[in-house]
């Protein structure tokens, strides 16, 4: 309980209060971080989802079975065909991104997980900015 309260206070200090007026002023990164908050009310979820839609982050949700954008972000869903921008919003900033560039295109390996233990890592693979596969 104490930890939740401290976390909430920290987030309010860092991000301020979430209102309909200040959501458009926030960066996409901030909006994605706010969407990860577990105690976000339905009104705020709708505001964040509307702003993500306005920015076109989750405009193509054909592979998500029409789940709300905030739910996609909160649960960290990924799918083949997802863009790198959607991936960063849904899964957050990776530990590292390994690049391979050649005549066949740009391949990236996005590394997520625990910095101290390599067996708790997951990998997401993209080709030319689109998710092609992942490994847990």
Cα separation of 135 and 78, whole Å? 11
Average pLDDT over residues 49-77: 70
| Other Cβ atoms within 10 Å of 90 Cβ, number | 25
Give the full edge-to-edge strand order of the sheet including 96-102. 96-102, 105-113, 121-127, 130-135
- Could you tell me the two tokens for 38? 């577990």
pLDDT above 60 (res 61): no
**Farthest CA pair distance, the chain:** 54
Average pLDDT over residues 68-81: 77
Average pLDDT over residues 103-121: 85
Residue 7, pLDDT score: 55
Residue bearing tokens 């390994």: 98
């Amino acid at each position: 309980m104490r930890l939740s309260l401290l976390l909430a206070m920290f987030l309010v200090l860092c991000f301020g209060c979430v209102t309909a007026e200040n959501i458009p002023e926030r960066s996409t990164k901030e909006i994605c971080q706010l969407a990860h908050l577990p105690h976000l009310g339905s009104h705020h979820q709708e505001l964040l989802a509307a702003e993500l839609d306005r920015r076109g982050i989750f405009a193509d949700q054909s592979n998500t079975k029409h789940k709300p954008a905030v739910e996609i972000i909160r649960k960290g869903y990924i799918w083949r065909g997802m863009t790198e921008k959607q991936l960063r919003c849904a899964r957050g900033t990776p530990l590292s991104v390994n690049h391979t560039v050649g005549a066949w295109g740009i391949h990236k390996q996005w590394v997520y997980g625990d910095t101290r233990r390599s067996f708790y890592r997951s990998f997401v693979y993209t080709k030319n900015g689109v998710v092609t596969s992942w490994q847990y």
